[in-house]
Amino acid sequence: MNTDQKTEKRTAADRSLPVVIPGPQPAEDAAPVAPTHENLDRAMRAAMARLTGGISPHSVFEAWSDWALHLARSPGRQLELTERAQANALKLLAYAAGATTDKEVNAPFSPRHYDHRFVHPLWGKTPFNLWQQSFLATQDWWFHATQNMRGLRKQDADRMQFQVRQGLDLLSPSNFPWLNPEIIDQSVKTGGKNLIEGASVFADDMIQTLTQAHKPAPEGYRIGTDLARTKGSVVFRNALFELIQYTPQTETVHPEPVLFVPAWIMKYYILDLSAQNSMVNYLVSQGFTVFMISWCNPKADQAELSLEDYRKSGILAALNAIETIVPGEKIHANGYCLGGTLLAITAATMARDCDERLASITLMAAQVDFAEAGELLLFVDESQVAFVEDMMWEQGYLDRPQMARTFASIRAEDLIYTRAVNRYYLNKPDLPTDIGVWNGDTTRMPARMHSEYLRGLFLENRLTAGRFAVEGRVIALKDIAAPLFVIATEADHIAPWRSVYKTALFTDCDLTFVLTKGGHNGGIISEPGHANRHYRIANRRVGAHYKGPDPWLADADPTDGSWWPDYAKWLAAQSGSRIAPPKTGAPQAGLPPLCDAPGTYVHQM
């Protein structure tokens, strides 16, 4: 069944929903493609996608050919690279001469700050230091060889760098037991026991990868007991999500409730991990009535779920339920990652339609403009999106391992190869952590929704280009009048902070921007007492002139500690005087408590 046929099966009410992100339309004089023939093409591409991990071979070849052809007609660049190769070779020769004669010679090449493959002291001994320096010299040359050239598409240059980095990471001497001094040293100490036990771990991992069997949570990290343990009740459920209302911990609360909208690419309990680093528990303890959306883990029969379904049957349905439970009060809405992007879309639509139920809007590591969306853009072009669509067309969703591979490949040297060396050669098991257990508890992405997201936001950047329609009419972020609190993290490779900062460029409302230390998840889960944390915070008043990210960074002094207390103060400033806590659910209105938190959807495999 092709996509058009699937769409025809939607009800008349469904068809009235906006075509938020239409795909490319064929030319008027183009001959129609027979569904049978198109299905054959898509099935072939889907089979190829399974073999390539979802990477389009055409996109790979296009980047290589674009780079090679531009390099071939650039004799100046060729000369520059020849000179750099000669210089690197001379540096290596000088270093090798000094190293073999026991002279003190500074290493000419250094790993990047995030590269921890060569930290063991034995890498400074001959001959391991020579192998390390040879690898780093090669890495240096290729880095400069794949720099952008006049006429070369920047995306192709970036893709070339990425692909070369993947190949070099695979061939790093740290990955081979006969070249890695740490592996040799450990093997000598244990008599090879580390290799035998590592082989057993490798076999177990291979079986788990092939079967996709779910691993139970390790002792001390069970959902509902150790993680996602903040007390509450599910007060609403539909086919898309469960709504959790958390039990108050204070005698009085701020009247306006808080709604968390997590991304459906993750389980919600990243915001309710262990007791000490649960953002939910922190806000409840500060006197807020907190609600949480817990998304379902979609299966093949939910392939036609759309972005509009997530907006209407998700966020709007949650707002309606909260309005019933806490009548007469506005709602603080907080969206994380993709949930934040959808929340921004929802808020702009509500503003356009004069729906004033939002007291404030918080966007955590969430992008509204995708022109600078970091290395994830390397995976997005027409060929690549079509390739992923065909893979999802066959199975109904984007599966968990397919997404995990994409994110891991961005930091392959650490997330793939260093981890593999530790597990299979050094017999160092992964020590369980709450965020690590959550990270392994991934979800699927419905085919239609993910296609709309990739095309409309990543590929075409429609939201900030004024071309994103909801219910047949274009929305504008500038319509949002509710105050905004936007958080970005310094080391985020999924939502780079300068990309998140662009929310300030496309809105006019009161906006507080926070830049905090950490990555996409670690920077958000930055509880009070977390060691070595800092953040920057500054406010832009309504009508103030736009300030770019670099001037903002220069003017915003760092503050030690967690940004959570400042956020709680900001929410309190947008709230009324404290009152008695509301009751759990609204049984008289058809919203009785259904079960205890964390509910049932969070356990779906």
Q: In a 3-state reduction of DSSP, which class is residue 499?
A: helix
Q: Is the separation of the CB atoms in 418 and 344 below 8 Å?
A: no
Query: For residue 157, what are the contacts with CB-CB under 8 A and spacing of at least 6?
Result: 67, 146, 147, 148, 149
Q: Is the separation of the CB atoms in 476 and 485 below 8 Å?
A: no
Element (H, E) at 595: strand 595-596
Structure tokens at 303: 């392939």
* Catalytic residue of the set 337, 354, 509, 595: 337
375, 398, 404, 548 from 53: Cα distances, Å: 17, 11, 11, 38
How are strands ordered across the β-sheet holding 595-596? 559-560, 534-540, 511-516, 484-489, 358-364, 331-336, 258-261, 290-295, 241-246, 232-237, 595-596
Q: Does the annotation count 337 as an active-site position?
A: yes
**Strand pairing class (473-474; 469-470):** antiparallel
Cα 346 to Cα 356: distance, rounded to the nearest angstrom: 12
**Strand pairing class (397-398; 358-364):** unpaired
Beta bridge partners of 364: 336, 487
End-to-end Cα separation, the chain, in angstroms: 26
**Strand pairing class (445-446; 534-540):** unpaired
Angle among Cα 192, 193, 196 to the nearest 5 degrees reads: 95
Tell me the one-letter amino acid at 589: A
Residue 215: closest CA among 225, 224, 226, 204: 204
Structure tokens at 480: 């949002």
Q: Is the separation of the CB atoms in 501 and 341 below 8 Å?
A: no
- Residues assigned a catalytic role: 337
